[in-house]
Amino acid sequence: MAKEQRLKDAILVFMTDSSKTSFEVKDISEGLNLTGADDFKLLVQTLAAMEREGLVFLTKGGKLKIPHKDPVLAGIFRASDRGFGFVSIEDEEQDIYIPPNSTNFALEGDRVSVDVTKPGEPWHDKGPEGRIQAILERNFTQIVGEFWAYDDAGIEETGLYGYVEPSDKKVADLRVFIKAEGIKPVDGSIVIVEITHYPDIEFPRSMQGLVTKVIGHKNDPGVDILTIVYDHGIPTEFPKEVLKQAEQTPDKITEKDLQGRTDLRDETIITIDGADAKDLDDAITVRQLDNGNFYLGVHIADVSYYVTENSAMDREAFDRGTSVYLTDRVIPMLPQRLSNGICSLHPNVDRLTMSCEMEIDGSGNVVKHHIFPSVIRSYRRMTYTEVNQILMDKDPEVREQHADLVDMFELMASLHKILENKRIRRGAVDFDTKEASILVDEEGHPTDIVMRERGVGERLIESFMLAANETVSEHYAHLQVPLIYRIHEKPDSEKMQSFMEFITAFGIVMKGTSETVSPKQLQKVTNQVKGKPEESVISTMLLRSMKQARYDTEPIGHYGLGAEYYSHFTSPIRRYPDLMLHRLIRSYEQNGTGKNMKDKWSGILPEVAEHSSKMERRAVEAERDTDALKKTEYMEDKVGEIFDGVVSSVVKFGLFIELPNTVEGLVHISNMNDDYYHFMPERLLVIGERTGNMYRIGQPVKVRLTKADTDTREIDFELLPDPHQEKASKGQMPDRQAKHQGRRKGQKNGDRNQHHEHKNKSKNNRKNTKSKHKKGKPFYQDVAKKKGKKKRK
């Protein structure tokens, strides 16, 4: 008994002292060095006894935790525009609801401590309630927005230069007053403000700060996108020490660089990229072997050779996490001297690479592989367009121009088909959603929106990169060494249940339950709708039902690809996890896979995985915001025009309509004046009470553009009469309900924002109400003279 009690004490000390809050059994066994069969059995028995005694408990995710004796927890606050909010606690199943009077002036994204005031009632599907005790870390230390200047009298009276309206929707209802010191911008400048005072009891809806940088005037070309970039905290300039290190990087390969590398310079290795690409980080070659199998060589720029661990460039690349691709610019992860220079696999020059050679049989199985450092000399740079002209169009002129490579391209197409069929057999889901490219002029004004088409050229490169990523991941997983994986978890059962119910409206029935749905079943759904009008809508709804892919140190697998092991290996110029994977390969090659190396990387990789996932989400949000802005700008001069569209989403406040060029806008239910419409959430449609007019997802409609506001990034449509309008049958008609469940004219923008938040989009849209300063007395007069109160300093 004494031995069992000592083990219990050791377990509690280990769990209490650890930086983690939840544990798998293997975490504890490895932490206490109880990995032998007998020791592990004793540990499991002891943990079971501790669970019965209430010393530990098991979460829904199957992890062990110590019960909270203190009701004060720490987490991230998520604000609502209605005053309340929620706090997300790591590893907790439910968020804590914070009523409007208990937020303690916390802002979106703040790290806060929470006192739980009411426990959850899971049997009523009700989460816990609490109040914010303290703000541990502010999310907003600086804010980007438009500066509104006070006149001289206002400055003298208030001691302020003016105020800034934040461009970030999360704090758009606050004003930031600018101290009369430091930089004094001109009216209409887009500025960065360092926050010095946050909301409090005296000034609950305002902050104060100093202007630290003027990005430009709101009417200057390119400032609109720069505003989004700064809004998301994406750095636009490299620090001096990073540029200095980049300048010291050689622009040619030396004999010393070739030591320990396999020389592949005589092989016919090519690159295939978009015509505008400058950072060429992957090259390939394919040939048929004597035994009938395929040889596939994937050669990736050896960025980690130049970006050494803990150097200035490495720290900056880690901070950025990824390159960000916006409409008319790229914000690179690495300085251009590397990304477009020594690391880019330009033709006819020597370049250092990390290679993955694979022998692949007729079923797409990798039967042999080899991963090693190498040197190549790209034989030719090809574009996707040229490869598609050769393989799809059979263009005689292009085939003649590249006659020496045509046979290899034909072989590549054959191998791609084999690899693609293998992925289909194992159930990989093809999310082949529409992608649009926004074309802009020299001043950044959008001139057209064109659809990107993925031909054989794009798809074969995708197949080869997937094969290399899987091969490298599986190789090192089997070595049981720390690695950074790209994981995609199984969908949430509730979201999948909603999807399964949704597709029944299109006559599609999925067998089984939402908990056991397999990638193959989802693949069957996408195959059933391929080429049909509802294909795009169902693909989009399926994507919304899936979890986001992310980086992790555990090989959970990639659900969407149907892959047991998957890592990112092929883009180290633009993604930090790929660069880190190359560094791990070199480390294990040079230093072995002993305990010291395992301990070192086990301590580093979790932070790399978590931070890289966050930076990836930041980049995606900035790209979405930029696309939304430019699409709205493109539609600005088309108000009054008529378009064909399709209902892309049905919500209680109206219909979202998507045009063929992917522009999306809202038909608010208050503007559907021909009838009173009821929202049927279980069927995702609205039905007119009197006419029986019915609108559902995927339904073609004709609309007129009524608004395209670049300030709010909002696009509004109105429905036009359709003689072929779908009607509800008598059994589908809703019961008459109280009118307050229908139109809500005063809440259009709040509705729209909730919808976009649900779609995992950044909340781009500013409120449609105009600011007080645009009419009547200066706004500062509302806050400057509060009798008996001092001005804010």
**Domain extents in the chain:** 2-65, 72-137, 140-220+763-793, 240-417+427-486+563-626, 490-546, 639-762
CB atoms within 10 A of CB 343: 25
Compute the distance between CA of residue 557 and CA of residue 545 in angstroms, rounded to an integer. 18
Q: Would you say domain 2-65 falls under CATH 1.10.10.10? A: yes
Are 148 and 234 in contact, with CB atoms under 8 Å apart?
A: no
Which residues make beta-bridge pairs with 709?
A: 714
Task: Just give the CATH number of 140-220+763-793.
Answer: 2.40.50.700
Instruction: Output the six-digit token pair for 276.
Output: 């505008």
Mean per-residue pLDDT, 629-648: 95
Q: Report the first-to-last Cα separation within the chain, whole angstroms.
A: 65
pLDDT at 107 over 50: yes
Using alpha carbons only, give the angle 453, 459, 462 rounded to the nearest 5 degrees: 125
Percent of the chain with pLDDT over 70: 89
Query: Who has greater pLDDT, 208 or 681?
Result: 208
Are 550 and 607 in contact, with CB atoms under 8 Å apart?
A: no
Compute the distance between CA of residue 373 and CA of residue 305 in angstroms, rounded to an integer. 10
pLDDT at 763 over 60: no
Compute the distance between CA of residue 129 and CA of residue 573 in angstroms, rounded to an integer. 46
Percent of the chain with pLDDT over 90: 58
pLDDT at 750 over 60: no
* Average pLDDT taken over every residue of the chain: 87
pLDDT, tens only, 700-744: 999 999 999 998 899 999 999 888 787 777 666 766 544 444 444
Residue carrying structure tokens 């980007």 = 144
Q: What is the pTM of this model?
A: 0.80
pLDDT, tens only, 206-225: 999 999 999 999 989 899 99
Query: Who has greater pLDDT, 20 or 198?
Result: 198
Q: Would you say domain 72-137 falls under CATH 1.10.3720.10? A: no
pLDDT, tens only, 23-49: 888 889 888 888 888 888 888 888 888
pLDDT at 21 over 90: no
Which of 399-403, 597-601, 670-674 bottoms out in mean pLDDT, i.e. has the lowest? 670-674
What fold is seen in the domain 639-762? OB fold (Dihydrolipoamide Acetyltransferase, E2P) (2.40.50)
Residue 746's pLDDT is: 41
pLDDT at 70 over 60: no
Quote the strand ranges of 365-504, DSSP E. Answer: 366-377, 380-383, 435-440, 446-452, 485-487
Sign of CA dihedral 215, 217, 218, 219: negative
Compute the distance between CA of residue 583 and CA of residue 589 in angstroms, rounded to an integer. 10
Closest CA to 229 of 329, 336, 314, 108: 329
pLDDT at 766 over 80: no
pLDDT at 93 over 80: no
The 8-class DSSP code of residue 403 comes to T
pLDDT, tens only, 119-175: 877 656 678 899 998 898 998 899 999 999 999 999 999 999 999 999 887 888 899
Length of the chain (residues): 793
The 8-class DSSP code of residue 293 comes to P
The H-or-E segment that residue 278 falls in is none
Same topology between domain 140-220+763-793 and domain 639-762: yes
Mean per-residue pLDDT, 769-783: 37
pLDDT at 443 over 60: yes
Compute the distance between CA of residue 536 and CA of residue 433 in angstroms, rounded to an integer. 6
Are 648 and 703 in contact, with CB atoms under 8 Å apart?
A: no
pLDDT at 110 over 60: yes
Mean per-residue pLDDT, 84-104: 85
Instruction: Give whichever of 57-71, 92-106, 344-358, 503-517 has the largest mean pLDDT.
Output: 344-358
Residue type, 263: D
pLDDT, tens only, 2-18: 677 888 888 888 888 77
Residue carrying structure tokens 């690159």 = 271
Instruction: Give whichever of 98-112, 344-358, 733-747, 759-773 has the largest mean pLDDT.
Output: 344-358
Query: Who has greater pLDDT, 440 or 119?
Result: 440
CB atoms within 10 A of CB 347: 16
Which residue pairs, CB below 8 angstroms and at least 24 apart, start in 47-52? 47/11, 49/4, 49/8, 50/8, 50/11
